Structure 1
Amino acid sequence: MSEAYITRIAKFLPNESVSNDEMEEYLGFINGKPSKSKAIVLRNNGIKARYYALRKDGTLTHTNAEMAAEAVKGLFAKNPAEIEEMDLLSCATSSPDQLMPSHGSMVHGYLPESGPVEVVSPSGVCCAGMHAFKYAYMLVKLGEKEKAVACASERLSTVLRASQFEEEVQQLLKLEQNPYLSFEKDFLRWMLSDGAGAFLVEPNPNSEGISLKIDWIEGCSYANEEEACMYMGADKTADGSLKSYKDYPAEEINDHSVFSIKQDVKLLGEKIVKLGFAKFLEIMNKKGMSMDDVTYFLPHLSSYFFESKIETFFKENGIDVPKHKWYTNLVTKGNVGAASIYMMLEEVFNSGALKKGEKILLAVPESSRFSYMFCMLTVV
């Protein structure tokens, strides 16, 4: 089999950085009042800035597919004509602009200069970006593709706006109940961000500068054991199952904000680190590796709250991962879902700090129904 290398990484961030104080100027005030949970959530998640594909007046500036296409174009910025050589476009998101056509097809539609190309669209949430990457990796390894692009993008700001919850608030007012959003809906409004990232995967490393050899990519789902923890386009019933938006009368979809993104915070705290990192230890043992072999550890975090949880898990298992090995950009970019790991690796790859022989570990937990992806890279 061929080897497979990440030879270039690019990202695209829409508009200007949005500070914590500005968030409700973009997303709006629920029932005209500041959020009760915003300060608590921001204090715990540690995020100071994020990006939105919209303006303060609500005007949308980019679709999800447009942002993904801009990230892909960034891979070929030095020689735009080279995009004609792209032979795979593997695109992931948890927030496509439409149910059909596929997200990947829509991204390809913004790349007319690329010509006809194989397109695939892995679905999911945070792990979807890694699934898109693994598909590109496998096809290059098999010798079927020579210039494969994997990309991941999110545009969730539009479902976080106050207008999305107005019908539910009005229903609560009619019932004389407190017209504030439940915490499971308000929680994620202060964590999510928009943007896109892309990898170029090739069978040979760069002749100049560095590349990242893809040693392995491993994943695992616990959906057979655990109920949904984060969901959208559905509501959770008393027995823990999900009721699809397709099964609601049209008027109830708005009344219950069914298309809002929701998080079972209690289930998240109990399970997200314990399940995934136990599996990670199994994978490392199988590979005959330890954290001592890792130079840089890049965990996708939805909140800095979980950094200490991972650290505690490592220490309880006799593993010491000093802070200088950790890297995350959550504080400045927010949680960009499937695209977060692309943006983190882009900053490390283009930092000028990497040295040949160093190893980079990527860890991507997904709370939706507890899935995990891990990847080891070697700087060459």
Structure 2
Amino acid sequence: MRSMSVAERRARVGVRHRLATAERADDVNEIVRSLVVLHATDPATVFLSIAARSRVLEPGHVEKALYEDRTLLRMLAMRRTMFVAPLELVPALQGSCADALAHKQRKTYGRLIDQAGVIEGDISSWLAEVEAETHQALLTAGAATGAQLSKLVPRLRTQIDAAPGKSYSKPTSITTWILVVLGAEGRIVRGRPNGSWSSSQYTWAPIESWLPAGIPELSAEQARVELVRKWLYAFGPAPVSDIKWWTGWTLGEVRKTLAQIDTVEVDLEGVTGLVLADDVDPEPAPDPWVALLPALDPTPMGWQARDWYLGSHGPALFDRNGNVGPTVWSDGRIVGGWAQRPDGEIVWRLLEDIGTEAEARIEAEAARMTTWYGEVRPIPRFRTPVERELTS
């Protein structure tokens, strides 16, 4: 069994995740493909993840790819998490994750509507009618907010109490439910938000405005194979447990998928990992590098087993639900955390000694990111101990 050291894995991170200085790119789509997808639960993450891996890109370049060229698309996928994906990967994400999510959410919402007793007749047929009417309204309007759609489609204003008898009980309209199902099903997409690039007040658009013929269909089996193969190139080598965690699939689904991919086992310093069979050659170590990665960046969120790049820093840099905050990286490992203060200053805290030369590189990177933010002051969706301390 071939051995792959921690040093080799860290070199791959620097090169394949475009964090090493020489590997940075000035093509938004190229950067996203390098990471398979970008986390998008926090809208700012998308922009800051690209900023960390580019040389001259600005927020406007990212907005152009998202909303004008439309080569990127926001969608719910693995673990019911929001991602930004290259358009060519959307069928794989749809077939491997989103279709099952749409089915699950429609079933859940249908049960809640049925329990509320506000609709007579077949709930499934009623929901299908409302979904079709909402999709058609978007085709006609081109783009609209949820509030605007609820005026165009009166049945979206149907009130449901999802927790009757509870202290937090509060009737709410089904607008969000319908939009979630249509989005997961790939019939509508989140478009340009109202406000700055860090805003999450999205408008909605029909999928036809991104893909005129809709999302090409892939079987769940084909879709899983394509997705795992891309993940292994970007994030491998890794244990099977990391693949299971990242995808959110059952262990059986992961093993069935891996059986169709040519992989080999490697020794990850005492743990068995997998790598693509044609990707076992060592990755030459890049020149020394540093990076300031945002909260929920796909690199630190790419693996479940994190000791080889995180060390003992987890409690300071992750929240209680496992969401990573802003992290400082040096040569393939996390060495500290950082934050943006209300006045725009970028501040950081090192959690280990990395030497004066690396610290100087961090200072230069912080200055670059200060310029990149401009007047925007996003607060991370999930706050972590170090980020809170640095901004207090």
Both structures adopt the same fold (TM-score exceeding 0.5): no
What's the TM-score, normalizing by structure 1?
A: 0.26
By percentage of residues, which structure has more helix? 2
By percentage of residues, which structure has more strand? 1
What's the TM-score, normalizing by structure 2?
A: 0.26
**Greater C-alpha Rg:** 2
